[in-house]
Amino acid sequence: MIDLKLLQKDFDTISAKLQRRGVDEALLGDLKAKNEALKAAKRVYEDLQALQNRLSKEFGAYKREGKDVSELKTQVGANKLEIQKAQEAQREAETALEELAMSVPNIPDDTVPDGLDEADNVEIKKVLTPPTFSFTPKHHWEIENGWIDFERGVKLATSRFSVLFGEAAKLERALINYMLAFNASRGFSEVSVPAIINRTALEGTGQLPKFSDDLYKLEGLDLYLAPTAEVPVTNLFADEILSGDELPLKLTAYTPCFRKEAGAGGRDTRGIIRQHQFHKVELVAITKPEDSDAMLDEMIACASDLLTSLGLAHRLVQLCSGDMGFGAAKTIDIEVWLPAQGVYREISSVSNTKDFQARRAKIRYRDGKQNSLVHTLNGSSLAVGRTIVAIMENFQNEDGSINIPEVLKPYM
């Protein structure tokens, strides 16, 4: 959640920054109205408190001087009732603003380029050279080697579910184990978390209330299937005050992930790039504010180096203001080369949310004598299904066989 104190202090500046993200005028207008209502409620309360203080002083003076205090006593009593009403009005105004603010995205970092969508993203660099083929490379769903069975996935569930057989199933497991081991070598401690999470956790990292349509909810319960390990891992520290000496916390986790993909709009309906159930290894970091930029670079390097170790050509792209995720202040996407499409496609997204999630989830650390909000970061390392796609397409042979990267062979 954005800092409401900043909003009250300088609404126009914060509003201008949110407009860079494409926040619509109606929402900003509503935000301004509720912000002004809270400021007005605070003024009424403060004025009544000031009056109470003055009346109390007069009351004391009257008693010392032996004056009649009956009328003054009536005024003090009546003003106390008005103060109680003003307190309640202020609380209601605060609640209304906070509830609206839960639907407002993060403020973009000043280094984020302006733009409307992915066409305005900025390439940072390319890593490795895409392979060349003596034949026309196939899409992963066209390679006839018995690895992926889409029909049986539909039979067991519905569209956008699939079944992996044989070497593909082994490759999936190998990738998960290799990614976790690679991340551990970079100082990220492994953690295993539930794949079912509650509403509070999803609110803490920003998936609710904004993206309720994309979540699978358990019938009759206020519980959901995790859309990403970012949610349970970050919320491990919700409503806690950490010691400054503990930071940074660097964690990695594997979870199955579940998304309805309600907003996908028919994209990637073929193959396994966009499935309702998929596997992902996640990186999560919790830092002091002054350390989060350096941690972002470290996490990007970890994910990029992992792809390099697999021999997969990729590029780093900075997302523009209009293409970033809801909770991100700054995001770098890592896109892997897919030769059948002849394009780079997202395989990892690493974001610094600054104190946006920490404010929602109440994650703080002791900073000297005071408690301060941490910064939280998250990133894919990597989406396992998309990594399988990249391996199948980049290392395919004309006969349909697939060459396995050397670093994965011990895990197969």
Residues annotated catalytic, as ranges: 259, 274, 346, 349, 386
Quick count: other Cβ atoms within 10 Å of Cβ 26? 8
Q: What is the DSSP letter of 217?
A: B
Torsion angle (degrees, nearest 10) of CA 266, 270, 275, 278: -160
List Cβ neighbours of 27 (8 Å cut-off, separation of 6 or more).
Answer: 100, 103, 104
CA 272 – CA 35 distance, rounded (Å) = 45
CA distance 376 to 238: 11
Q: Which long-range contacts (CB under 8 A, 24 or more apart) does 200-204 make?
A: 200/235, 200/238, 201/231, 201/232, 201/235, 201/238, 201/361, 202/231, 203/102, 203/360, 204/231, 204/234, 204/235, 204/238, 204/357, 204/360, 204/361, 204/362
Q: How far apart are CA 412 and CA 269, in angstroms?
A: 29
Q: 357 CB contacts (<8 Å, ≥6 apart)?
A: 204, 205, 206, 234, 327, 363, 376
